[in-house]
Amino acid sequence: MKQRILFVDDDEASRELGRYNLEQAGHAVNLARDGEQALELLRRQHYDLVLTDLRMPRMGGMELLQQMGPRTAELPVVVITAHGSVETAVRAMKAGAYDFIEKPFGREVLLLTVERALERRRLGRENRVLRLRAAGVEREIIAASEPMRKLLETCDRVAGSDASVLITGESGTGKELIARRLHSRSERAEGPLVTVNCAAIPAELLESELFGHARGAFTGAVTARPGAVRRQRRR
């Protein structure tokens, strides 16, 4: 599948050259001129890899790494440094970067570093899925038909984003299995997955079941009770 890469650099020529080489290799590329613009794009869209220069106006690569925080464990970052600035690159890697390349970089070095970073991300996600399966969190979905394989590919790509997902289908078609796959392959996989059978809850009690109620809020509410959403967020 095509990988989506965010290339961050204040040098327009460097950005365009990076985009050209990466797109020629089959990747989808978005560009940002500094860390602030990169963070805005990261909030709006899912990416598989970030390439960022370290020295930029407004927000440089080191601050971008700090702002991304724990996300770098799931989203690899490759930093671009000036020739001879290895010490700076090492500091960036201690801050969460996966690897670095030096300017001026050749096409072969760029593509090799990118492929290594994407492979590391793929292996990390596979290892996490295997751990969750071993723990019984995710049940493996075996598909033979082309439409089902495309559905699973879409599911896996969406899992890495913050998008809200609506799953529809007739009873028995596997909606909950898809929901569990989305959860287990998302950045929230280590947290709880809360299932609620809304059809089994009277309409007048649905809000209370989800969000809780205070004592005396309605007849029979003898004590305060946190709802499903609040109880799970506390864990």
Sorted by where each begins, the domain ranges of the chain are 4-130, 141-193, 194-235
The third-level CATH classification (topology) of the domain covering 4-130 is Rossmann fold (3.40.50)
* pLDDT tens profile 168-203: 988 888 888 888 888 877 877 777 777 788 788 888
How high is the pLDDT of residue 182? 86
How high is the pLDDT of residue 79? 93
CA distance 151 to 138: 17
CA distance 58 to 17: 22
CA distance 152 to 130: 16
- Rounded (5°) CA angle 4-7-11: 160
How high is the pLDDT of residue 138? 63
How high is the pLDDT of residue 235? 43
How high is the pLDDT of residue 84? 62
End-to-end CA distance of the chain: 36
How high is the pLDDT of residue 203? 83
Closest to 5 in 3D by CA, of 93, 96, 131, 110: 110
How high is the pLDDT of residue 1? 63
Which segments in the chain show pLDDT lower than 50?
A: 233-235
CA distance 43 to 23: 22
> How far from 94 is each of 34, 90, 149, CA to CA, in Å?
21, 6, 38
Q: How many residues does the chain have?
A: 235
